[in-house]
């Protein structure tokens, strides 16, 4: 049975070209980039090249890129870094209520340390209203954090509009662009952000490496203390093979981005249309247009998301019920609840995220298999029986 992977938002396979460029840095060029002899300097030179490639992908300057262990660290670094460096100015942070746990949990941590956080509501499509951002600003606000696109429902937020508001008020603005970088155009100057988080494993790079873009003159304290790596902004010996792989992935993404987004948008339309036509009581979650090219999120009434995921897995199809981090918990998604879905609708949700190796045939197979699974599960469902 051919396995079909439709969970590219959870992680992507590392591109074979990426693996190829990484390999010598495990064995041949294994030096510590801080060492002044040739082994070390070769590794350092390669890191600098990778930094340029990552910077080019987002329209940044290379000195504004700090490599991290992933998206979670980049989010933590941005938020705690700004909060602790600007405490004397104020203690108020604004974030959307549909942020990834890496942002939400960091904000909650800061609340326990005396900061106050306003979590902005979103509309039924998961959109933040820039006017709400404006209204939430106080003279104590030091940071606004709104994600570029949501990892569960794919809604793309009006980042440029929000950044104008932040700029006018003289407040730092961070965006978590983990789901967008490499998939849709991301330019830090067009978006007008001061801080932007990226993760390599979401764009066909390796796991355990990411980056935080830090606009020049942004005041933040380091998240890790120790050595003087990354211009004293992130201590610890660099993950050299990971960074080299990240650089290659960024280079490939830059070459392929437009064409691939168009191809995925067609496949997304095929999947969404097919699901709505072949299964009744289905709701498409997220914004109909302002959404990631590869994301389809649906709520299917009278069935549990987990049961669908397990049944699809038996057919060799991998999808998720929400974000990978929360899919092992039975708590309904905070994103879907914030979009005013009921607990039942949130529990009956499925996220399909398509990618480089998804084909039309894969989508057809899902459209063939899923209606049968839903019919089988509904036949056993006490939820549906109580409606009859
Ligand atoms: N932010 C978003 C929007 C994500 O989707 C993820 C991963 O699921 C992260 C942050 C965390 O990234 P990482 O797995 O690299 O720590």
Rounded to an integer, what distance in angstroms lies between the CA atom of residue 79 and that of residue 242? 24
Measured CA to CA, the distance from residue 231 to residue 74 in angstroms comes to: 16
Residue 99 alpha carbon, nearest atom of ligand 1: 3
Interval between CA 71 and ligand 1 midpoint (Å): 5
CA distances from 289 to 19, 49, 278 (A): 35, 36, 22
Question: Ligand 1: which residue has its CA nearest to atom 12?
Answer: 71
Ligand 1 atom closest to Cα of residue 208? 15
CB of 308 within 6 A of ligand 1: the answer is: no
What is the pLDDT tens value at each position of the chain, 388 positions in all? 899 999 999 999 999 999 999 999 999 999 999 999 999 999 999 999 999 999 999 999 999 999 999 999 999 999 999 999 999 999 999 999 999 999 999 999 999 999 999 999 999 999 999 999 999 999 999 999 999 999 999 999 999 999 999 999 999 999 999 999 999 999 999 999 999 999 999 999 999 999 999 999 999 999 899 999 999 999 999 999 999 999 999 999 999 998 999 999 999 999 999 999 999 999 999 999 999 999 999 999 999 999 999 999 999 999 999 654 455 567 889 999 999 999 999 999 999 999 999 999 999 999 999 999 999 999 998 766 656 5
210 close to ligand 1 (CB < 6 Angstrom): yes
Residues 234 and 255: their CA atoms lie apart, in Å, by 29
| Residue 367 CB neighbour total at 10 angstroms | 17
Mutating to test ligand 1, I would choose from 145, 178, 210, 292 the residue with most ligand atoms within 8 A of its C-beta, which is: 178
Q: Active-site residue numbers?
A: 325
209 C-alpha to ligand 1 centroid (Å): 11
How many whole angstroms from 41 Cα to the centroid of ligand 1? 31
70 lines ligand 1 (CB under 6 A): yes
Cα 70 to ligand 1 centroid, rounded to whole Å: 7
Other C-beta atoms closer than 10 Å to the C-beta of 189 total 10
pTM of the model: 0.96
């Amino acid at each position: 049975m051919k396995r079909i992977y439709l969970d590219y938002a959870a992680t992507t396979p590392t591109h074979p070209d990426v693996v190829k460029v990484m390999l010598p840095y495990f064995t041949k060029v294994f030096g510590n980039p801080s060492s002044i002899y040739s082994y070390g300097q070769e590794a350092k030179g390669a890191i600098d090249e990778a930094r340029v490639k990552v910077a080019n992908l987002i329209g940044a300057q290379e000195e504004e890129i700090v490599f991290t262990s992933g998206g979670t660290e980049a989010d933590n670094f941005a938020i705690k870094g700004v909060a602790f460096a600007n405490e004397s100015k104020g203690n108020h942070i604004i974030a959307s209520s549909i942020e990834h746990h890496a942002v939400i949990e960091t904000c909650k941590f800061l609340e326990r340390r005396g900061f106050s956080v306003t979590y902005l509501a979103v509309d039924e499509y998961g959109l933040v209203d820039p006017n709400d951002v404006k209204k939430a600003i106080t003279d104590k606000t030091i940071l606004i954090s709104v994600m570029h696109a949501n990892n569960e429902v794919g809604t793309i937020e009006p980042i440029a509009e929000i950044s104008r508001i932040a700029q006018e008020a003289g407040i730092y603005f961070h965006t978590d662009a983990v789901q967008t970088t490499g998939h849709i155009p991301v330019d830090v100057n067009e978006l007008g952000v001061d801080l932007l988080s990226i993760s390599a494993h979401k764009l066909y790079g390796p796991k355990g490496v990411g980056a935080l873009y830090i606009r020049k003159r942004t005041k933040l304290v380091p998240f890790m203390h120790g050595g003087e790596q990354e211009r004293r902004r992130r201590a610890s010996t660099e993950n050299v093979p990971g960074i080299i792989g990240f650089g290659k992935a960024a280079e490939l993404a830059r070459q392929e981005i437009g064409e691939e987004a168009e191809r995925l948008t067609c496949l997304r339309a095929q999947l969404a249309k097919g699901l709505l036509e072949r299964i009744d009581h289905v709701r498409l979650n997220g914004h109909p247009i302002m959404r990631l090219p590869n994301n389809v999120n649906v709520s299917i009434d009278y069935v549990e998301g987990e049961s669908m995921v397990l049944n699809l897995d038996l057919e060799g199809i991998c999808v998720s019920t929400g974000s990978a981090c929360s899919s092992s918990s039975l708590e309904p998604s905070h994103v879907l609840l914030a979009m005013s879905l009921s607990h039942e609708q949130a529990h009956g949700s499925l996220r399909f995220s398509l990618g480089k190796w998804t084909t039309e045939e894969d989508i057809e197979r899902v459209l063939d298999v899923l209606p049968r699974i839903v019919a089988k599960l509904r036949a056993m469902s006490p939820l549906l029986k109580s409606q009859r």
